[in-house]
Copies of this chain bind each other. A is one copy, B any other.
Amino acid sequence: MASIDEVARLAGVSTATVSRALSGRGQVSDAARERVRAAAAALGYVVSSRASSLASGRTRNVGVIVPLLDQWFFSTMLSGASSALMRAGYDITLYNITADADVRREVFDTFLRRQRVDAVIAVAIELDEHETGQLLDLGLPVIGVGGPNPRLRTLSVDDTAMARLATEHLIELGHREIAHIGAAGEFEADFRVPSRRLRGFEQALATASIAANPALLEPADFTVDGGHRAAARLLDARRPRPSAIFAASDEMAIGALLAARDLGIRVPEDLSIVGIDGHELGEFFQLTTVDQFPLAQGERAAAAVLAQLEGQADATAAAALPYELIVRSTTAPPRS
């Protein structure tokens, strides 16, 4: 591993000039810069982040906290954030806050305090007061994605409005008996998303003067299987059947779709189904959904963090995250 001294010697300049030439900070003549570049390339020299970060206080590394990795939505957001940060030359260190409470505490008490990162992105995590305070105490740029947090700079999509949009789509098609598959106890603890989507659903019904019917609310855990079971209950032959289902995630919507197929109920002729998220499988199942572009959300979070680190105004900061109704083939007017 070549060191800065060797580069300086080969280029015939001081280490200070090498540092300036390679980092782009401070004035360096074109000639010197070129010689330094050539020397560094010849030696295969790369600035040691250990030494550089100790001297400068900058690590070129961003911490990303995620609640789960093995779910499409989170890994897609991570993918977006990761590629944007890497393009900017930043490393990313990953803090996977799993179900394990000890690990979670360690992340906030220790891992994040090791001065390894210049900034933090917290993805879809509901932070409690104490954790939020710990994050703020780091004295670093912190940005949250999803789940508005009044004490943090947060990018979030309007879950209530998305749910309203999905429900309104069904209402406009003429549906009146609309069921909702969504939140359930345990899951709720970490994410308020489900309840916000339920609220949007209720708002849309109220605006259209459709009475809320508790029998048409089925809790589920945001998995395909959960959506399938919830739909099976809703579509039970012994009770009046809704003409449409709004599922609070595409995974649950897909589960509902498969449940309908199992029961010989045709979609969309006998039953309309709409989801939320923009899941990769939505195209395959021809699922109508409200897309929230998770890959782009990750990229936006990265851009916001980079803007703060580089001290520029973040042009996209104020704008709310976009979402869009994608009408495919699982929704249609009810029969007669």
Contact = CB atoms under 8 A, between A and B. Distances in A.
Interface of A: 1, 44, 46-51, 53-54, 59, 61, 68-70, 72, 75-76, 78-79, 82-83, 86-87, 89, 91-96, 98, 100, 103, 106-107, 109-111, 113-116, 139, 224-225, 228, 255, 261, 280-281, 283-284, 295
B86 A96 contact: yes
B70 A83 contact: no
* Residue from the set A46, A51, A255 with the largest chain B CB neighbour count within 10 Å: A46
Contacts of A283: 225
Closest 8 pairs between A and B when the two form their complex, measured CB to CB? A69-B79, A46-B113, A49-B114, A75-B75, A50-B54, A82-B96, A93-B93, A50-B53
A93 B96 contact: no
Given A1-B115, A86-B107, A92-B94, 19 more contacts: A1-B139, A48-B115, A49-B114, A69-B79, A70-B75, A70-B280, A70-B295, A78-B94, A83-B100, A86-B95, A89-B110, A91-B95, A91-B114, A91-B116, A92-B93, A94-B94, A225-B284, A228-B284, A261-B261
B76 A70 contact: yes
B83 A98 contact: yes
Contacts of A295: 70
A93 B95 CA distance: 9
Contacts of A116: 49-50, 61, 91
A280 B139 CA distance: 40
A113 to B, nearest CB: 4
A292 to B, nearest CB: 15
User: Could you say how many copies of this chain the assembly holds?
Assistant: 2
Given A48-B114, A50-B116, A115-B49, A86 B106 contact: yes
Contact of A111 (B1, B48, B91, B113): B91
A89 to B, nearest CB: 8
A76 B92 CA distance: 18
A109 B46 CA distance: 9
Nearest to A91: B93
A44 B112 CA distance: 12
Contacts of A76: 69-70
Nearest to A138: B1
B72 A70 contact: yes
A322 to B, nearest CB: 20
A19 to B, nearest CB: 15
A160 to B, nearest CB: 27
A228 B69 CA distance: 26
A246 B288 CA distance: 31
Contacts of A94: 78, 82, 92-94
A129 B83 CA distance: 25
A246 to B, nearest CB: 21
